[in-house]
Amino acid sequence: MSIPTVLVLPFPFQGHVNPMTTLSQKLVEHGCKVVFVNTDFNHKRVLSSMVEQQDHSLDESLMKLVSISDGLGPDDDRSNIGKLCDAMISTMPSTLEKLIEDIHLKGDNRISFIVADLNMGWALNVGCKLGIKGALFWPASAAVFGMLYNVPRLIDDGIINSDGSILTSNKTIRLSPNMPEMETTNFFWLNMADTINSTHFLNYLVHHCTPALNLTEWWLCNTAYELEPLMLTLAPKLLPIGPLLRSYDNTNPTLRSLGQFWEEDLSCMSWLDQQPHRSVTYVAFGSHTYFDQNQFNELALGLDLTNKPFLWVVRQDNKMAYPNEFQGHKGKIVGWAPQQMVLSHPAIACFISHCGWNSSTECLSNGVPFLCWPYFGDQPYNRKYICDELNVGLGLNSDENGLVSRGEIKKILDQLLSDGSIRSRSLKLKEKVTSSTTDCGQSLENFNKFVKWLKE
């Protein structure tokens, strides 16, 4: 068997880089070499937040971090997803091709395979041109994959327009007769920042990314049969290999934090050690959620009102002024947490979450109940799945001004913590979900099958 060198290409968002970093680490553990390609912009952030220590540096002969431009200027707004996608598709295919040719010219290990994020599906066309095979990786849920995959059918059936806007007057649809109903307002492309962004993003995906599904038999997904059995039956080609969780080898901090865009504040771990068992509310909204001052105030005062310990992630890029009345003496605030470690800490009682798919699978894998507070993209659908299908969380509702009030936070949190059935369902689901990636679990078997194929 030869040692394959796999080029891994994530979409340039934290929620895509993280699971693909974990996937890369697993490929290395199983005897592959990886060339991990970030955009220049993210590459700099990843390097500067790495807790690299001399005796624990990254073994570059096994995993090399490289970068190419995303086509935007240094000061352009990368949260404008439409603009980002336009820039990427007009520049990245040729720069990726050049990168691979340069690697080959230098006489480094030849790239033998490409694993591209489905949101970067066009990379498989580059691979085809150079005679390199590829696989596609979907970092979100199988259900959301189902929405995207069925876009042409939804257009043909008159459910949506070709720009993704809703045409049908029905509020819900079923992707297949035995699937739960989906609210049409939960189609992920409708929940972007604005309609221009939604249309651009959907066009980019449908025209430049999903056609690549025809170029490979390997459609990998960061989910598990135990989490989404119905959806995976509907999409039998989608191979669940998740949840992809980092292996917490505390002796190697470089690997533990690899791929993070912000440096993890580890001081929260010793703070958690001092808190009683199942007492702490963990509050984090991923990498893209932005609060305005009013909502920030309600959240801060709501956390005070709960009168319980909390660990709150307030990213530097969305730091607001704390309201004057805010005491916060029961809490700990950090700029970025080692989230997977936090969620597995015995002091954690529940997670106030935006329901990004990574945060969701990390929470489900630790048996922690959710307080769902979704913002955009696939998050509203994930909230519904968590609360109504898996029954392991409760949702927070906004008031007539569109705000989640401090009173609502306290009320629903108290309700969640006093509901023993949610906790016990969460723990049962944890057992099922984690069994998938251990022993003879389905996700592990799928991953092993993929690696075996790579090596042949």
> Which residues, 6+ apart, have CB-to-CB distance to 207 below 8 Å?
none
Beta bridge partners of 372: 353, 395
Write down the least CB distance from residue 340 to ligand UDP, Å.
6
The count of residues interacting with ligand UDP (CB under 6 A) is: 19
Residue 450, interface with ligand UDP (CB under 6 A)? no
In a 10 Å sphere around its CB, with 0-12 CB exposed, 13-18 middle and 19+ buried, how is residue 51 labelled? Answer: middle
Residue 378, interface with ligand UDP (CB under 6 A)? no
Write down the least CB distance from residue 335 to ligand UDP, Å.
8
Residue 362, interface with ligand UDP (CB under 6 A)? yes
Residue 336, interface with ligand UDP (CB under 6 A)? yes
Residue 13, interface with ligand UDP (CB under 6 A)? yes
Q: Which is nearer to ligand UDP, 18 or 443 (CB)?
A: 18
Q: Which of 231, 117, 120 is nearest to 182 (CA)?
A: 231
Whether the Cβ atoms of residue 451 and residue 27 lie closer than 8 Å to each other: yes
Residue 18, interface with ligand UDP (CB under 6 A)? yes
From residue 427, alpha-carbon distances to 179, 225, 355, 398, 437 in Å are 25, 17, 18, 29, 16
Q: Which is nearer to ligand UDP, 21 or 306 (CB)?
A: 21
Tell me the C-alpha distance between 227 and 241, whole Å. 12
Q: What does the per-residue mask of binding to ligand UDP show for 42-71, with x meaning CB under 6 A?
A: ------------------------------
Please identify which residue in 23, 245, 313, 412 interacts with ligand UDP, judged by CB under 6 A: 313
Write down the least CB distance from residue 64 to ligand UDP, Å.
22
Handedness of CA 296, 297, 298, 304 (dihedral sign): positive
Write down the least CB distance from residue 204 to ligand UDP, Å.
17
Write down the least CB distance from residue 304 to ligand UDP, Å.
21
CB hemisphere CA count around 7 (13 angstroms): 29
Residue 371, interface with ligand UDP (CB under 6 A)? no
How many C-beta atoms surround the C-beta of residue 107 within 10 A?
Answer: 7
Tell me the C-alpha distance between 169 and 363, whole Å. 35
Q: Which is nearer to ligand UDP, 288 or 332 (CB)?
A: 288
Residue 312, interface with ligand UDP (CB under 6 A)? no
Region class of 333: left (phi > 0), else alpha (psi between -120 and 50), else beta? beta
Segment 79 to 138, residues that bind ligand UDP, using CB under 6 A:
none
Query: H-type helices in 205-246, by residue range?
Result: 229-234
Beta-sheet pairing, 280-284 with 310-313: parallel
Segment 276 to 295, residues that bind ligand UDP, using CB under 6 A:
284, 286-288
Residues composing the chain: 456
ω into residue 243 within 30 of 0, thus cis? yes
Write down the least CB distance from residue 70 to ligand UDP, Å.
17
Residue 20, interface with ligand UDP (CB under 6 A)? no
Please identify which residue in 39, 95, 186, 340 interacts with ligand UDP, judged by CB under 6 A: 340
Q: Which is nearer to ligand UDP, 58 or 333 (CB)?
A: 333
With contacts defined by CB under 6 A, name the span among 207-215, 230-238, 334-342, 394-402 that binds ligand UDP.
334-342
Residue 14, interface with ligand UDP (CB under 6 A)? yes
> Which residues, 6+ apart, have CB-to-CB distance to 376 below 8 Å?
191, 192, 193, 288, 289
Residue 356, interface with ligand UDP (CB under 6 A)? yes
Region class of 92: left (phi > 0), else alpha (psi between -120 and 50), else beta? alpha
Please identify which residue in 358, 366, 437, 443 interacts with ligand UDP, judged by CB under 6 A: 358
Write down the least CB distance from residue 289 to ligand UDP, Å.
6
Q: Which is nearer to ligand UDP, 81 or 173 (CB)?
A: 81
Residue 197, interface with ligand UDP (CB under 6 A)? no
The first and second tokens of residue 369, run together, are 């109940």
Binding site for ligand UDP (CB under 6 A): 13-15, 18, 260, 284, 286-288, 313, 336-337, 339-340, 356-359, 362
